[in-house]
């Protein structure tokens, strides 16, 4: 029977690249998202390859339950769950509407918790793989990204606990931490009032591609790696933060202060 994967947030960026990668590797793929047009585009690119496109909200518990039950109904099994759906934000915490903070936690963190909760029985059965798409911000926070960083730290704490809980049950847990990656995330990142900021404040062309993140993620899962930390800058941030965190506070502030229209004072 064909193996099956679920990828949350598959309509764009890293999620879309993962959908195409898993489909090319022979998996039946379920992917979710909210943007009908972009989801249709991904479906068109998949063509005859077995897939299920579900218009669902990652932050909704019932939608996550449906995502898993529809997958089992269609494909009869589940081998890989990728918790990828996510949004970002950019604002000083002092200006940030707490509802925007909550929205980030609801999508990035609770979205992963719900998806994992409903998928876990099937993954225990197939001795499958859980892949969490976190961020370098899950190791080292940056200013004006308080809610985003908090959501990624929360994800990593959750998966570290779960990985240890199920370590003798045959399910592999991989946490992927991309560095800056070319995608739509900075265009739709929320400002202090919860509106999409509309454009990226960084040069997207200079970033790692979403396709490279997807390829490296697939390989790391095959090799049963625990963590995948991407980009030279990302690896340095994680390493230096371990040994010289105060120095890194200053370096990170300086780096983020260079962003176009940054809110730092």
Ligand X SMILES: NC(=O)c1ccc[n+]([C@@H]2O[C@H](COP(=O)([O-])OP(=O)(O)OC[C@H]3O[C@@H](n4cnc5c(N)ncnc54)[C@H](OP(=O)(O)O)[C@@H]3O)[C@@H](O)[C@H]2O)c1
* 31 φ/ψ sector (left φ>0, alpha ψ -120 to 50, else beta): beta
Residue 173, classed as helix, strand or coil, is strand
The answer to whether residue 181 forms part of the interface with ligand X (CB under 6 A) is yes
Here's the x/- map for ligand X, 184-203, by CB under 6 A: it reads as: xx--x---------------
In the numeric block, which tokens belong to residue 166? 């199920």
Binder of ligand X out of 4, 22, 27, 59 (CB under 6 A): 59
We find the least distance from the C-beta atom of residue 127 to ligand X, in angstroms, to be: 25
Residue (61 or 126) nearer to ligand X, CB: 61
* CB of 2 closer than 8 Å to CB of 28: yes
Q: Is 86 in the site for ligand X (CB under 6 A)?
A: yes
Neighbours of 183 (CB within 10 A): 23
- Nearest-approach distance from CB 151 to ligand X, in angstroms: 8
> 31 with 101: CB under 8 angstroms?
no
Alpha helix ranges (H) inside the chain? 13-24, 36-46, 61-75, 98-104, 111-126, 146-165, 210-222, 232-243, 245-257
**Residue 110 annotated to the active site:** no
| Selected catalytic residue, list 22, 148, 159, 253 | 148
Query: Which stretch of DSSP H or E encloses residue 139?
Result: none
Residue 109 lies near ligand X (rule: CB under 6 A): no
Binding flag, residue 146, ligand X (CB under 6 A):
no
Tokens of 41: 């585009």
Confirm or reject binding of residue 19 to ligand X (CB under 6 A).
no
- Of 57 and 97, nearer to ligand X (C-beta) is 57
Least distance from ligand X to the Cβ atom of residue 188, Å: 5
Binding site for ligand X (CB under 6 A): 9-15, 32-35, 38, 57-59, 84-87, 107, 133, 135, 178, 180-181, 183-185, 188, 210
- Show which residues are catalytic: 148
């Amino acid at each position: 029977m064909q193996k099956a994967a679920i990828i949350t947030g598959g309509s764009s960026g890293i999620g879309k690249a993962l959908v195409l990668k898993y489909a090319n590797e022979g998996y039946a793929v379920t992917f979710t998202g909210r943007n009908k047009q972009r989801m249709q585009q991904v479906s068109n690119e998949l063509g005859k390859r077995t897939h299920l496109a579900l218009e669902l909200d990652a932050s909704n518990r019932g939608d996550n339950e449906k995502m898993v039950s529809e997958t089992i109904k269609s494909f009869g099994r589940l081998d890989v769950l990728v918790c990828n759906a996510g949004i970002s934000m950019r604002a000083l915490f002092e200006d940030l509407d707490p509802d925007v903070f909550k929205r980030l936690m609801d999508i990035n963190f609770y979205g992963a918790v719900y998806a994992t909760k409903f998928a876990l029985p099937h993954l225990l059965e197939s001795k499958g793989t859980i892949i969490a798409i976190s961020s370098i911000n899950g190791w080292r926070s940056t200013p004006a990204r308080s809610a985003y960083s908090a959501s990624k730290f929360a994800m990593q704490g959750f998966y570290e606990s779960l990985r240890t809980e199920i370590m003798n049950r045959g399910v592999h847990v991989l946490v992927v931490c991309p560095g800056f990656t070319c995608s739509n995330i900075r265009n739709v990142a929320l400002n202090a009032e919860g509106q999409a900021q509309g454009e990226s404040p960084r040069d997207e062309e200079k970033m790692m591609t979403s396709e490279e993140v997807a390829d490296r993620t697939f390989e790391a899962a095959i090799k049963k790696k625990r963590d995948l930390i991407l980009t030279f800058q990302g690896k340095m941030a994680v390493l230096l933060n371990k040994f010289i965190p105060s120095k890194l506070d200053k370096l990170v502030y300086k780096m983020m202060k260079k962003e176009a229209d940054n809110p730092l004072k």
